[in-house]
Amino acid sequence: MTPTFYDEMHTSAADIRPHYVPFENWARALQPGVMARKRAEADLAFRRLGITFAVYGEEAGTERLIPFDTIPRIIPNAEWKTLRAGLKQRVKALNMFLGDIYNGQDILRAGRIPADEVLNNAQFRPEMKGFKVPNGIYAHIAGVDIVRAGAGEFYVLEDNLRVPSGVSYMLENRKMMMRLFPELFAQQKIAPVEHYPDLLLETLRAVAPAGVDDPTVVVMTPGAFNSAYFEHSFLAQQMGVELVEGRDLFIDHDAVYMRTTCGPKRVDVIYRRIDDDFLDPQVFRPDSMLGVPGLLKAYRAGRVTLCNAIGTGVADDKSIYPYVGEMVRFYLGEEPILNNVPTWRCREKDDLRYVLAHLPQLVVKEVHGAGGYGMLVGPAATKAEIEQFRAVLTAHPDKYIAQPTLALSTCPTYVDSGIAPRHIDLRPFVLSGKEVSLVPGGLTRVALREGSLVVNSSQGGGTKDTWVLENGHAEPHR
Amino acid sequence: MLSRTADHLYWMARYSERAENLARLLDVNYQMSLVPHDAETERSSWNAIIALNSLEYAYAKRHDEVTATKVLHFMVRDETHPSSIYSCLRAARENAHAVRGTLTAEMWETINETWLQLRDQSFAEIHSGGIAAFFDWVKQRASLLRGAMFGTMLRDEAFQFIRLGALLERADNTARILDVKYHGLPGAQQSQGDDLVDANDFYHWGALLRSVSAFEVYRKVYRDVITPERVAELLILREDLPRALHSCMQGVVEILDKVRNSRSDETVRRAGQLYATLRYGRMDDIFERGLHAWLDDFIDSIGDLSVRISEDFLVGA
The pLDDT value recorded for residue B192 is 44
- In angstroms, the CA B171 to CA B166 distance is 9
- Which chain A positions have a beta carbon within 8 Å of B102's beta carbon? 237
Q: For residues A127 and A283, is the Cβ–Cβ distance under 8 A?
A: yes
Evaluate if residue A478 carries a pLDDT over 50.
no
Pair B133, B219 in one domain: no
How many domains would you assign to chain B?
2
Percent of chain A with pLDDT over 70: 94
Stretch A10-21: mean pLDDT: 90
Average pLDDT estimate for A289-311:
95
Residues B55 and B204 in one domain: no
The minimal CB distance from B101 to the residues A49, A237, A262 is found for: A237
Q: State yes or no: ipTM above 0.90.
A: no
pLDDT of residue A53: 64
Instruction: Identify the CA nearest to A319 among candidates A279, A395, A370.
Output: A370
Which residues have C-beta within 8 Å of that of residue B11, sequence separation ≥ 6? Answer: B91, B92, B95, B165
Chosen domain end from B119, B153, B187: B153
A99-155 pLDDT, tens digit per residue, is 999 999 999 999 999 999 999 998 999 999 999 999 999 999 999 999 998 888 999
- Examine the domain organization and report whether B203 and B95 are in the same domain: no
Distance from B227 to chain A by nearest Cα, in Å? Answer: 45
Of A237, A247, A259, which has the smallest distance from its Cβ to B317's Cβ?
A259
Residue B248 domain boundaries: 155-317
Judged against a pLDDT cut of 90, whether residue A213 lies above it is answered with yes
Of the partner residues B97, B108, B116, the one whose CB lies closest to the CB of residue A224: B97
- The answer to whether the beta carbons of residues A68 and A46 sit under 8 Å apart is yes
Answer whether B102 sits within 8 Å of A237, measured CB to CB: yes
**Range with lowest mean pLDDT among A220-224, A367-371, A440-444, B297-301:** A367-371
Write out chain A residues lying below 8 Å of B105, CB-based: 49
* Chain A interface mutation, best of B2, B104, B144, highest count of A Cβ atoms under 10 Å: B2
Query: In chain A, whose CA is at the least distance from the CA of B108?
Result: A49
The answer on B161 and B130 residing in a single domain is: no
Query: Which of B153, B188, B216 is the last residue in one of the domains?
Result: B153
pLDDT at position A472 is: 58
Those residues of chain B that have pLDDT short of 50 are 187-197
Return the residue of A nearest to B112 by Cα. Answer: A48
Chain B interface, Cβ < 8 Å to A: 1-6, 94, 97-102, 105, 108-109, 112-113, 116, 157, 161, 259, 261-262, 313-314, 316-317
Give residue A63's pLDDT: 65
Contact B314 A242 (CB under 8 A): no
pLDDT, greater one: B64 or A1: B64
Residues of B in contact with A172 (CB under 8 A): none
User: Is the same domain home to B197 and B298?
Assistant: yes
Q: What is the pLDDT of residue A56?
A: 54
Using an 8 Å Cβ cutoff, are B243 and B212 in contact?
yes
Work out whether the CA dihedral A75, A81, A86, A92 comes out positive or negative: positive
- Looking at every residue in chain A, the average pLDDT score rounds to 90
How near does any CA of chain A get to the CA of B316, in Å? 5
pLDDT tens digits for A343-382?
A: 999 989 999 999 999 999 999 988 875 444 578 888 888 9
Same domain assignment for residues B169 and B94: no
B279 and B176 inside one domain: yes
Residue A260 confidence (pLDDT) above 80: yes
Q: Which amino acid type is present at position A154?
A: F
Distance CA A463, CA A73 (A): 10
B109: closest CA of chain A, how far (Å)? 6
Phi and psi for B259 in degrees, rounded to 5? -100, 5
HEC per residue, chain A: CCCCCCECCECCCCCECHHHHHHHHHHHCCCCCHHHHHHHHHHHHHHHHCCEEECCCCCCCCEEECCEEEEEEEECHHHHHHHHHHHHHHHHHHHHHHHHHCCCCHHHHCCCCCHHHHHCCCCCCHHHCCCCCHHHCCCCEEEEEEEECCCCCEEEEEEECCCCCCHHHHHHHHHHHHHHCHHHHHHEEECCCCCHHHHHHHHHHHCCCCCCCCCCEEEECCCCCCCCHHHHHHHHHHHCCEEECHHHEEEECCEEEEEECCEEEEECEEEECCCHHHCCCCCCCCCCCCCCCCHHHHHHCCCCEEECCCCCHHHHCCCCHHHHHHHHHHHHCCCCCCEECCCEECCCHHHHHHHHHCHHHEEEEECCCCCCCCEEEHHHCCHHHHHHHHHHHHHCHHHEEEEECCCCCEEEEEECCEEEEEEEEEECEEEECCCEECCCCCEEEEECCCCCCCCCHHHCEEEEEEEEEEEEECCCCC
Whole-number pLDDT of residue A62:
56
B195 & B232 share domain: yes
Residues B168 and B103 in one domain: no
A272 band by pLDDT with thresholds 50, 70 and 90: very high
Q: Which of the four pLDDT bands, split at 50, 70 and 90, describes residue A276?
A: very high
Q: Chain A closest CA to B174's CA: distance in Å? A: 28
- Pairwise CB contact (< 8 Å): A47 & B116: yes
Inspect the interface and report whether the beta carbons of B4 and A263 lie closer than 8 Å: no
Closest partner residue to A263 among B5, B112, B262, by Cβ?
B262
Express each pLDDT in A22-73 by its tens digit.
999 999 999 888 988 999 999 888 887 777 666 555 444 456 778 899 999 9
* Contact between A260 and B3 using a beta-carbon 8 Å cutoff: yes
Closest chain A residue to B311 measured between Cα atoms?
A261
Contact B77, B84 (CB under 8 A): yes
Mean residue pLDDT of chain B comes to 90
CA–CA min distance A236, chain B (Å): 7
> What are A's interface residues with B at a Cβ cutoff of 8 A?
47-50, 224, 233-234, 236-237, 242-245, 247-248, 258-264
Under 8 Å between Cβ of B16 and B88 = yes
DSSP characters for chain B?
A: -BHHHHHHHHHHHHHHHHHHHHHHHHHHHHHHHTS---HHHHHHHHHHHHHHTT-HHHHHHH-SS--HHHHHHHHHT-TTSTTSHHHHHHHHHHHHHHTGGGS-HHHHHHHHHHHHHHHT--HHHHHHT-HHHHHHHHHHHHHHHHHHHHHH--SSHHHHHHHHHHHHHHHHHHHHHHHHHHHHSTTTTT--SSSPPPHHHHHHHHHHHHHTT-HHHHHHHH-S---HHHHHHHHHH-SS-TTSHHHHHHHHHHHHHHH--TT-HHHHHHHHHHHHHHHS--HHHHHHH-HHHHHHHHHHHHHHHHHHHIIIIIS--
Q: pLDDT of B120-166, one tens digit each?
A: 899 999 999 889 999 999 999 999 999 999 999 999 999 999 999 99
pTM: 0.85
> Contacts of residue A48 in chain B, CB cutoff 8 Å?
109, 112-113, 116
> What pLDDT is attached to residue A227?
83
Question: A25: buried, middle or exposed (CB in 10 Å: 19+, 13-18, 0-12)?
Answer: exposed
Q: Do residues B281 and B238 make contact, with C-beta atoms less than 8 angstroms apart?
A: no
Peptide bond between residue A471 and the one before it cis (omega within 30 degrees of 0): no
B202 and B289 in a common domain: yes
Our CA-based measurement puts residue B11 at a distance from the nearest CA of chain A, in whole angstroms, of 15
Using pLDDT thresholds of 50, 70 and 90, give the confidence band for residue A285.
confident
Residue B162 sits in the same domain as residue B262:
yes
| pLDDT at residue A258, rounded to an integer | 96
Identify the pLDDT of residue A457. Answer: 73
Q: Please count the other Cβ atoms lying within 10 Å of the Cβ belonging to residue B288.
A: 10
Tell me the CA distances in angstroms from A474 to A21, A442, B134, B196, one per residue in order.
15, 22, 50, 77
B169-194 burial string, b = 16+ CB within 10 Å, else e? bbbbbbbbbbbbbbebbebbeebeee
Same domain membership, residue B295 and residue B162: yes
Task: Check: CB of residue B205 under 8 Å from CB of residue B177.
Answer: no
Q: How far apart are CA A161 and CA A163, in angstroms?
A: 6
Boundary residue ending a domain (B153, B176, B201): B153
The C-alpha atoms of residue A57 and residue A361 are separated, in whole angstroms, by 31
Q: Give yes or no for residue A270 having a pLDDT over 90.
A: yes
What is the DSSP secondary-structure string of B230-289? HHHHHHHH-SS-TTSHHHHHHHHHHHHHHH--TT-HHHHHHHHHHHHHHHS--HHHHHHH
pLDDT(A318) > 50: yes
